[in-house]
Amino acid sequence: MDNRMENLKYSISEALELPKDIVMDLPKIIMVGNIQLNISNHKGIIEYSQDTLRVNSNIGIIKITGSNLKLKTILSEEIVVDGTIDGIEIIS
């Protein structure tokens, strides 16, 4: 049933030209070079250190690795991270 609901949401977003991240409650990740990362539609921070940030989302855990990572902004819908970003991994 979940798969049918996801297909329906996808079809509606396509037909009405609505953003899929909002309609399907998916995280939106915007990376500025390798120095800044914005994550919208997150479900909270699991782990934070200068080298690793793990964020919960509807598609799994988003793991950001790098050096000198700093949480610049933490809001209920958005996280902004500064530092040198080496990698992003989604663990479902």
Encode pLDDT of 20-67 as tens digits.
666 567 899 999 999 999 999 999 999 999 999 999 998 999 999 999
CA distances from 75 to 7, 20, 38 (A): 29, 21, 11
Q: Is residue 76 part of a domain?
A: yes
CATH number of the domain residue 46 falls in: 2.60.40.2000
Separation of alpha carbons 59 and 36, rounded Å: 21
Q: Is residue 37, in this structure, part of any structural domain at all?
A: yes
Other CB atoms within 10 Å distance of the CB of residue 49? 8
Total domains in the fold of the chain = 1
Under a CB-based contact definition with an 8 Å cutoff, are residues 29 and 88 in contact?
A: yes
Q: What is the pTM of this model?
A: 0.79
For residue 63, being part of any structural domain is answered with: yes
Residue 78 clears pLDDT 70, i.e. is over it: yes
- The two structure tokens encoding residue 5: 């609901």
